[in-house]
Chains A and B, each alone.
Chain A
Amino acid sequence: MRKKIAWLMLFTMGLFWQANAQDRFISGKVIAKEDGLAIPGVTVAVKGTANATSTDAGGNYTIKIFSNAKELIFTGIGLQTNTQAITSSNTMNVTMNSDLVKLNEVRVTALGVEKETRSLGYSTGNIGGNNVVNSREVNVVNAISSKVAGVQVNNSAGTPGASTKILLRGNKSILLDNQPLFVIDGVPIDNTTTNTNARDNPFNANLEQVNYSNRAVDINPADIEDISILKGPAAGALYGSRGANGVVMITTKRAKYGQPTQVTLGSTFSLDEINGIPDLQLKYAQGTGGGRIGGTPNYRPYLPGADGIYNPFDPNTDDIEGSTSSWGPSNSSLGIQPVDNVKNFFQTGVTFTNTVAISSGSAKNAYRLSISRTSQEGIIPNTNFKRFSARLNAQSQLHEKLSVQSNLEFINSGGKRAQQGSNLSGVMLGLLRAPSSFDLGAGSTNANGSQRTYVSFYDNPYWSVYNNLFKDNVNRLIGSLTFNYFPVDWIKIMYRPGTDLFSDVRNVTYAQGSNNDASTLFGQVIENSIFHQQLYQDLLITFDRPLNKKINTTLTVGANTNQIYDQQLYARGRQLAIPNFYNIGNAADLYADETRERVRSAAFFGDFNISYANTIYLGVTARNEYASTFGQNRRSFFYPGTSLSLILTELKPFRDSKFFSYGKLRANYAIAGNAPLAYSSVNTYSKPFFTDGYTNGFSFPYAGQNGYGKNATIGNPNLEPELTKGFEYGAELKFWQDRLTFDLTVYNQTSDNLLLQRPIAYSTGHSFIFENLGQMRNKGVELLMGVVPVRTKNGFEWSIEANYAANRNEVTKLADGIEQVEIEVGFGDPAVFAKVGSPYGAIYGTKWERDASGRLLIGADGLPVAQLTLEEVASAYPDYILGIRNTFTYKNISLTTLFDINQGAEIWNGTMARLNRLGKSIATEDRERTYIIEGVKADGTPNDVAVDAADYFTFYKGDFGATEEAIEEASWVRLRELNLTWTIKPKLKFAKTINISVFGRNLIYWSDFTGIDPENSLTGAGSNYGGINWFNMPNSRSYGASINISF
C-alpha cells in the first residue's frame, strides 16, 4: 500500500508540473492599525499554493507571484487574517487589525489539520510553547499538569526519568492503556512505559524494580510550539482505534520563509530536593519486646559473624539475625546516639539544561535546528537522567504548487535508577525501616567486602544504589516528511510518511550479596534490549471551496496505514563466577526470552465541514478501519462523528454588543475506539510458571527440559475494538474584550465493548477468557474561566485563569455473573478492582467488623476484628481537579503562579501501616502506655480492654490490621509553578532579547496525607493501578534560574 501511494504521488506531480511563465514580484510593508508600527513575522502566502514568505524586522516582504495567483493572505499571531486580491500593482502595503477576540485563532486538530477554533464543535485544550518551557520540567507530560481542564497528570516520583501518567476525562478501558495517543507534527509516537520483566518470573514484578520512563520523556520541551489536547471522542474520532483516550497533539517550532536568521541560547539550572518524608521516631532502638507493659525490650542488632554474611544454613551459629522492627529499648538506655537515616540519605539533585536553536528562512527554504542537552542528578545518590536531542525542522518550496517539510529529531536518553517498591533491595524499604540505632551511612560494606546492613535480607540503601544498578540507553529517531501539493487553488493533496524508531538497551545488575537476587547471593546481570518501530503514512486530499458567498465547504478524504513493531530480547545470568564482572557469559545460570509483536491498521476516512455565514459550522467525520488486532471474524470497524458550532455573537441581538465580545455554543456526538491487545484472538500454549505467593516458584526450562501448557487466557476470534461514544455540549462566552471568559463543557461518554480477561473458574484449566463485555461511563463537567481584574495604562496587568474538572466514572457492566475483576496483579489485599457500580480502579481491602451503628467490634483481646472478605475501601481518583494560574505583568516583568488543587482521592498508605507495625513511625514513639481502641465489645458495651502499644500498632494501626485502617485522603493544594521572568531588549549587537527567569516547581504542598508526597505511583504510567503506596519513591521540589538570549 505504501508503494502505491508513493507511485501515485509521483504520477500526480508529473501531471501538474508545468512551469509558469510571467513571474513577477510583489513587495510591501505590513503595519499595525493601532500604532502604525511595522509588524515583523507576518506570514504572507499566495492562496492555494505552497508559495509563502514572512515579513522582516522592518515589516517588509517580497514574494514571487505566478500569473495565476489571485489572492495574498496575511496571517500572524494575535492579528486578524487579512486577504488581499492581487492586482497589477507590484506593491501591496497592508494594515493589520489586532485580533483581541481571537476571531482567527486556529487549533491543531486530528491528523494535524489546523482549523479555526470557532468552527470546532468540540472542546480542545491548548498550551502554548512558553507555558510548556516555563514549567521547567524534564518530562513534557509534567508540563501539561494543571493547565487544561479534564486532564489528570500524575507524576510517579521525583526521581530522574520517572514516568508520568496522563488521563483525559478519566479511564475508559479496563485492561488496555488509558492514556491518550501522542502525536508530533501529525505523526503518532510511542509513549509507553515498558517494564523489564522476564517471562518466567512475573511474581511481584509489577510492584518492584525501578521507576521506568514513559517514552514522551524523550521530547525536548523547548522545541514545542504548541500542544493541542483533543479530549473527547468527537475530537479523536479520526484516529479510530487509537482515539478513545483522546490525543495530545504536539506541534514543534519551525522557521518561516523569509525570516532573518535567529540564534537562541538557553540555559537552565535547577536544584531538586526531597518533598515530603514520613516522620519517624528516633527514640527507640532496633529490637523486639518493647511497647509492652511489663515487657522487656530486647536490643537485637544484626550480627553476621566473622564472615560478615548471615547464613541461615550455616551450622555454625555465630550468626545472629537482626530484628526488622524498632521495638527495642530506648537508644539512650543503650548509650546509642540515634541517627536520622532518612534525612542523611537524600542529597540535593542538580539539573542543567542547555539549548541552542538556530532558525533561518530564505524565500524558498527555511529551517530550524535545535540542539539540547539535559542532565539531571537525582535526589537519591548515583541516580541520573540525561537527554540529548537534536531536531531539524526544514521546509522548502520545491515549486509553486509543491512544498515539502521535514521534521526530524534524534534523541539519546537514559540514565541510572535505583530499586524501588516491594523489593528487598528497594531504597525506600531499606531506608524507612532502618532503626535509628543503626547508622546506615557509616559505611555500606564491612571490612571483608560484604554488605553492612541491619537485617540480613534488607539491602542497605547506600549499598543498593551503588550495587544494584539499572541503566537504560535510548536512541530514538522521530521523523516525518510532509508533501503538500496544490493542483488547483482549492485542492490540496498532502502525503505524509513518518516514523518513530528507537532502541532501548537496558542493563540491570545486582552485585553479589544483593538481596533482590532471587536465587542465590551470587549476583545477577540482566540485558534487556527493546526495539520499537512505527511506520505511519497518510494521504489527505482537501477540497476547500465556497459554494456561494455565505456557504463554505471543506471536504477531506484520506487514507492511512500504520504498523507498529515491537521486539524485546531479555537475557539473564545468575551466579556470577567473577564478582562485579557483569557479563552474561560470566553467569552459571542462564535464562533468555524474546517477545515480538506487530500490529497493523489501515483506514480510509473523510472529514466534511460546512459553514453558513461564519455563524454555524457543521462537521461530519467518518473512518473505516481495518486492524490486525480485531478478531479474525471481525476485521473492520466504522467510526462516525459529528459536531456543531454556533457563533452567538454573529447573531442579531449580540452582534453589536460591546460587552459580549464572543459567544459560541457547541455540541457533538462521536465514536472512537481502543484496539484489543495483539494476539488476543488466538489460542496458544505458553511456558507456565508456578507461583505460591512466597517464593519465586518454578518455571521453564526446568532441569534442561522445556515445558509448555495451555495458555492461562483463552483467545477469542470475535474480538472487536472497545468503543467510547457519547455526547458533549459546551458554551464559550467572552465579555468585555476578553477580560472575562468562560468555557463550559459537559459530557457523557459510555465506553462499551470493553475487553475483559474475564476471570473463569480455574477448574476449567484456564484462568481467563478474552471477551468484549465491559462497559463504563464517564460523566463530567469542565469549566475554564479567565479574568483580567486589573489592566492599567502604565502596562500592569493581572490575569487569572482557572480550570476546573470533575469526572465521575462508573463501571456499569462486566460479564454475566462477574461483579468484579482485578485490574492488575498486585498485593492481593489491597487489590485494585473494576467493580460494577463503583468507579474504575476502586481499591478493595479488608474492613473491620462493625456493629449495626458502625462502631468497631472489639474482641476479648481488646483488638478489633478484620473481616476476611475484600470490600471497597477507597477511590484513587479525585472528585475534582482545579488549576489556578495568576499572571502579573508589568512592562517586561512577569510573575506567574500556578496552583493545583486535587480533591478527594484516597490512597492506601501501606508504607505507614508497615512503619507502625515495625515501631518506626512517629506515632509509635508513644509506646510506654496502653491503648483502648474505641468500639464495642461482643456484649455491646463500650470497649474497656487496654492493649499494649505493640499490639495497637501491629494489629490495629499496622498492616496486620484491616486494610481500611491504612486508607488516607490524598487531597492536596500545591504550588506547582512559580515563575518570575524579566525580558530585556538591549540595544546590543550580540543580543536582541534576553530572558531571565527564576522559578520554583512543586515548591509547597498542603495535604493531610502522612508520609511522602501523595502525588506518586508505585507502578508508574504503564499501569492502570493507582492509589497504592508501598515504599514508593519520593517526589521532589525544585527551584532554579534560567537565561535565554536571542540574537
Chain B
Amino acid sequence: MEQALTFLSNNLNLHKMKNIKIYILAFALLLSSTACEKYVSKDDFNPNQPTSSTLPTLLPTVEVAVFATYTGQISRTSGLWIQHFQGTDQQMIDISRYEITENGIQNDWNTIYASGIVNAKDIITKADALGAPYYKGIAQICYAMLVGVATDYWNDVPNTQAGLGVANLTPQYETQEAVITSIQTMLSEAIGNLQTATSANSVIPASDDLIHNGDRSLWIKAAYLLKARYSNRLSQRNATTSATQALANLTAGGWSGNADNTYARFSGAGNELNSWYAFENQRGNYIKMNATLVNKMIAKNDPRISFYCKPDNNGNFTGTPVDDYADISTSSIGNYFAGPDATTLPLLTFAEAKFIEAEANLRLGQSAAAQTAFTEAITAAMDYPGIDAAAVSAYLTNYGTLSGSTADQLAQIMDEKYVALFTQLEPYHDWRRTNLPVLNPATTGVQATIPVRFPTEQNERLYNPNAVVVSNTTTRVWWDN
C-alpha cells in the first residue's frame, strides 16, 4: 500500500508537497489490514443460538420428536388406511384415496431423523463422555422407537450412519432385518444402562424426562414391551421364534396394568397441544370417524364408542363409509382422545402387552394361555378409558372367548386389538402382518389396494445417492413377507 502511494505521489508530483507525505503515511496506517481484520472478527459468536447443549435440554427434544412421530400425521395416515377414520377434506381425501407423495411424508421423515435420531445419538455420545447411563438408556429407547417407525414404514433405512452431520452426508441404508436386530440390541443395552447404580450416574434425568419423569422402572417396562413388539413383528419371518422371544420379553417386562403405560404428554398451551385436538381444532371436518370401525363397535355394543366418537349432528355415533369423501354429518373423533382435556395419547399400553401375549401363545399352540391373555387384554383396553366393570364383564361374556379354528381365534384377537389400539400405529402394522381384520379397500382410490408402505422421502431420493428408493406403495416391507 505504501509503495503504491509513493509511486503515485512521485508520478503526480506530490513530493513537492511535504505535508502530503504525512497524509499518506497516516492513511496507510489507517488502512492497515490487521486493523480491518480485527474490526470484523468480533462477530463470530452467534448471540442467538448456542454452540453447545446439555443432556437436560436434549432429552426433551428427543421425547417430543417421539410424540410428533407417533401421534402426528403418520398416525392419521395409518388410521385412514385401516379405516378408523375417513378423509373428508383436502389432503385427507387424497390419503383416503391411497395417494401419498414423496413430499407428503417429508415432515415426518424430518422429525424422525433431523429432530429425533440426530439428537438421540448426541445424548448417547454425551452420556458416555459424562458418565450418565440413565440418559443414555432413555435416549436408546427413544432411538429404537424412532428408527422403528422409520423401518416399519420405509423398510430399508439409514441407521448406524444416520445423524452424523457433515461427517456423513450420504448415509448408507441398512436392511430392515439389520435395523430390527439393532433395535433389539439397543433396547437390551438400554435396559442395562437403566439398571446401573445411581452412583454410576453423574447426572440423573428428572422433570426433563417428559415421558416418565425419570422413573427408570417404567422405562425398563417400556423397553421390554418394545422388544416384545418387535419380536412379534417378525411372525411372518419366523412364527415360532418371534412368539417365544415376544413372550420372554413380556415376562421380563413384568407389566401389571395401565399404570405401566407410556404416553405422549400434552397440555393446553398452544405449542403443547394434543396432536389430535390440534388437528380437529385447526382442520375441522378434514377427518371423520370411519363407518368400518364405528359399525364394528356398534355391532358389539362396545361401551368405548362414546369415548372414541363424538355424537353426530343427530346425537348418534356414525361413521363416513369408505369411498365417501363428502359426508361430514357423521361423528368426529371423541373427546377422550381429542378433546381439550385429553392431555395424553397412548404409546405403549398394558393392553398391547396382553394382545401380543395372546397372539404369541396362540401361535405356539398354547390356547389356554392365549385365552387368559385375551381376557386380560380386553379388560385392560376397557380399563383404559375407564369403562365400568359391569359393562366390561358383559362385553367379555359376549366377545371374550376365543373359539373356532386357530385362524378364527387369531381373527378375534386381531379384531379386538384393532379396536383397542385406536390412534396408535400398531393396528396398521398388525393389519399388514396378519391381513386382519379383513378390510375392503376403497374402490375410488388411486390404486386398488391399501398402501403397505410409504414412498421414499423426496430429499432422500434427490440428495442421498445411497438411498434405497421405492416409490411404489404396494411393495411390502421385509417383515410383511
- Contact (A761, B463) CB under 8 Å given A313-B310, A520-B268, A626-B33: yes
CA distance A348 to B127 in the complex (A): 66
Determine if A709 and B12 form an interchain contact, defined as CB atoms under 8 angstroms apart: no
Name the CB-closest residue of B to A763: B158
Q: Are A705 and B284 in contact (CB under 8 A)?
A: no
Distance of A320 from chain B, by nearest CB (Å): 6
Task: Find out whether the CB atom of A15 lies under 8 angstroms from the CB atom of B19.
Answer: yes
B388 touches A (CB below 8 Å)? no
Cross-interface CB contact of A602 among B40, B54, B108, cutoff 8 Å? B40
Q: Is the CB–CB distance between B64 and A707 below 8 Å?
A: yes
Q: How many interface residues does A have (CB within 8 Å)?
A: 108
Out of B41, B42, B103, B275, name the residue touching A635 (CB < 8 Å).
B41
Among A388-396, A692-700, A779-787, which stretch is in contact with chain B?
A692-700
Chain A residue contacts of B42, Cβ below 8 A: 600, 628
Q: Count of A-B contacts with CB under 8 A?
A: 322
A763-B166 in contact (CB<8A): no
Contact A767 B114, beta carbon cutoff 8 Å: yes
* Chain A 290-327 interface 0/1 with B at a Cβ cutoff of 8 Å (1 = within): 00000000000000000000001101010011000000
Q: A763 to B284, Cβ gap below 8 A?
A: no
With A694-B279, A767-B110: A487-B19 Cβ-Cβ less than 8 Å: yes
The interface stretch among B65-73, B229-237, B358-366 is: B65-73
Task: In the complex, identify which listed stretch (A258-266, A426-434, A499-507, A674-682) lies at the interface while the others stay far away.
Answer: A674-682
Stretch at the interface among B22-30, B244-252, B390-398, B401-409: B22-30
Please give, as numbers and ranges, the residues of chain B lying within 8 Å of A678 by CB-CB distance: 43
Q: Find out whether the CB atom of A518 lies under 8 angstroms from the CB atom of B275.
A: no
Q: In the assembly, what is the distance between CA of A698 and CA of B67, in Å?
A: 9
Q: A555-B12, A559-B31, A682-B44 are in contact. Are A769 and B310 (CB under 8 A)?
A: no
Question: Taking the complex as formed, is B118 at the interface, i.e. its CB lies under 8 A from any CB of chain A?
Answer: yes
A86 to B117: give the CA distance in the assembly, Å.
83
Which B residues are in CB contact (< 8 Å) with A113? none
For A692, the chain B residues whose CB sits under 8 A away are 68, 72-73, 107-108, 111, 275
Chain B residue contacts of A313, Cβ below 8 A: 280, 310, 335, 339-340
Residues of B within 8 A of A578 (CB): none
Q: B198 in the interface, Cβ–Cβ < 8 Å?
A: no
In angstroms, Cα B275 to Cα A706, docked, is 20
Report the Cα distance A1→B61, complex, angstroms. Answer: 44
What is the CA–CA distance of A829 and B458 in the complex, to the nearest angstrom? Answer: 14
| Minimum distance in angstroms from A529 CB to a CB of chain B | 16
Q: Is the CB of B114 within 8 A of A312?
A: no
A5 CA to B26 CA, complexed, in Å? 10
Residues of B within 8 A of A706 (CB): 57, 60
* B60 x A702 contact (CB < 8 A): yes
The answer to whether the Cβ of A190 comes within 8 Å of any Cβ in the partner chain is no
* Residues from 735 to 759 in A contacting B, C-beta threshold 8 Å: 759
The 8 A CB mask of B169-204 against A (1 = contact, 0 = none) is 111000000000000000000000000000000000
Q: How far is the CB of B40 from chain A (nearest CB, A)?
A: 4
Stretch at the interface among A141-149, A357-365, A683-691: A683-691
For the complex, is B129 an interface residue (Cβ under 8 Å from A)? no
Contacts A703-B210, A761-B463 given: A591-B271 contact, CB under 8 Å?
yes
Contacts of A601 in B (CB 8 A): 40
Given known A-B contacts A518-B270, A632-B44, A688-B115, A288 and B107 have beta carbons under 8 A apart: no
Q: Is the CB of A589 within 8 A of B51?
A: no
Partner of A763, one of B67, B113, B282: B113
Q: Give the chain A neighbours of B284 by CB distance below 8 A.
A: 312, 321, 456-457
Cα separation A868 to B458 with both chains bound (whole Å): 12
Q: Is the CB of A600 within 8 A of B39?
A: yes
Q: Are A761 and B270 in contact (CB under 8 A)?
A: no
**Complex interface: chain A residues within 8 A of B35 (CB):** 1, 602
Q: Interface readout for B80-121 with A: 1 if CB under 8 Å, 0 if not?
A: 000000000001000000010111000111111111011101
Given contacts A520-B268, A763-B157, contact A682 B46 (CB under 8 A): yes
Q: Does A901 contact B (CB under 8 A)?
A: no
> Which parts of A576-631 form the interface with B (CB within 8 Å)?
589, 591, 594-604, 624, 626-630
Q: Which residues of A contact B117 (CB under 8 A)?
A: 763, 765
* Least CB distance, B69 to chain A, in whole angstroms: 9
| Residue contact B31 to A604, C-beta cutoff 8 Å | yes
Known: A1-B39, A626-B39. A695 touches B278 (CB 8 A): yes
Known A-B contacts A700-B61, A709-B61; A12 and B23 likewise in contact (beta carbons under 8 Å): yes
Which single member of A628, A693, A702, A762 contacts B40 (CB below 8 Å)?
Answer: A628
Q: Once the chains are docked, how many angstroms separate the CA of A647 from the CA of B467?
A: 62
* Residues of A with C-beta under 8 A to B112: 762
Cβ-based interface call for A115 (8 A)? no
Q: Is A702 in contact with B340, judged by CB distance below 8 angstroms?
A: no
- Identify which of A464-472, A710-718, A801-809, A923-931 touches chain B: A710-718
Would A696 and B273 count as touching, CB distance under 8 A?
yes
Q: How far is the CB of A411 from chain B (nearest CB, A)?
A: 28
Residues of A within 8 A of B115 (CB): 688, 690, 709
Contact in complex: B310, A710 (CB < 8 Å): no
Which residues of chain A are near B119, meaning CB under 8 Å? 709-710, 765
Tell whether A698 pairs with B64 under 8 Å between CB atoms, given A691-B107, A766-B114. Answer: yes
The answer to whether A769 touches B169, judged by C-beta atoms less than 8 angstroms apart, is yes
Cβ A764 vs Cβ B467 within 8 A: no
A231 at the interface (CB under 8 A from B): no
Please, which residues of chain A bring their CB within 8 A of the CB of B265? 703
Q: Which residue of B lies closest to A7 (CB)?
A: B26
Residues of chain A lying within 8 A (CB to CB) of residue B57: 685, 705-708
A574 at the interface (CB under 8 A from B): yes
Is there an interface contact between A553 and B310, defined as CB atoms closer than 8 Å?
no
Report whether B270 and A589 are in contact in the complex, using a CB–CB cutoff of 8 Å.
yes
Against A, the Cβ 8 Å flags (1 = close, 0 = not) of B154-171 are 000110011111101111
Task: Count chain B CB atoms within 10 A of each CB in A16, A312, A555, A761 and give the residue with the most.
Answer: A761
Q: Which of A596, A627, A707 contacts B60 (CB 8 A)?
A: A707
Q: Measured between alpha carbons, how far is A760 from B122 in the docked complex, in Å? A: 19
Contact with A along B441-481 (1 / 0, CB 8 A): 00000000000000001011011110100000000000000
Chain A residues with CB under 8 A of B43:
598-600, 628-629, 678-679
Q: Which residues 249-301 of B sit at the A interface, judged by CB distance below 8 A?
A: 265, 267-273, 275, 278-286
B150 CB to nearest A CB, Å: 9
Q: Quick check: is B313 within 8 A (CB to CB) of the other chain?
A: yes
- Residues 220-248 of B, flagged 1 when their CB comes within 8 A of A and 0 if not, give 00000000000000000000000000000
CB within 8 A of A679: which of B48, B163, B314? B48
A897 at interface, CB cutoff 8 A: no
Decide yes or no whether B58 CB sits under 8 A from chain A: yes
Query: Chain B CB within 10 Å — which of A1, A698, A706 has the most?
Result: A698
- Bound CA span A596–B335, Å: 43
Asked whether B162 lies within 8 Å of A764 as measured between CB atoms, the reply is yes
Q: Is B311 interfacial (CB 8 A cutoff)?
A: yes
In the assembled complex, which residues on chain B have CB atoms less than 8 Å from the CB atom of A519? 268-271, 273
B49 within 8 A of A: yes
Per the bound structure, the CA–CA distance linking A223 and B122 in Å amounts to: 58
A685, B271: Cβ atoms closer than 8 Å = no
Establish whether residues B122 and A710, one from each chain, have CB atoms under 8 Å apart when the complex forms. Answer: yes
10 A-B pairs whose Cβ atoms sit less than 8 Å apart in the complex: A1-B35, A313-B280, A321-B285, A545-B12, A626-B40, A635-B37, A705-B60, A760-B169, A762-B457, A762-B460
Kindly list 9 other residue pairs between chains A and B, CB separation below 8 angstroms, not including A696-B278, A761-B460: A315-B335, A541-B23, A626-B36, A682-B51, A695-B273, A697-B72, A706-B60, A709-B119, A764-B114
**In the complex, the 8 A-B pairs of residues with the closest C-beta atoms, listed nearest first:** A765-B118, A519-B270, A765-B163, A761-B464, A684-B49, A628-B43, A695-B278, A763-B158
- Where the two chains meet, the residues of B that have a C-beta atom closer than 8 Å to any C-beta of A are 1, 5, 8, 12, 14, 17, 19-20, 22-23, 26-27, 30-31, 33, 35-37, 39-54, 56-58, 60-62, 64-65, 67-68, 72-73, 91, 99, 101-103, 107-115, 117-119, 121-122, 157-158, 161-166, 168-171, 207-208, 210, 265, 267-273, 275, 278-286, 310-315, 326, 328, 332, 335, 339-340, 457, 459-460, 462-465, 467
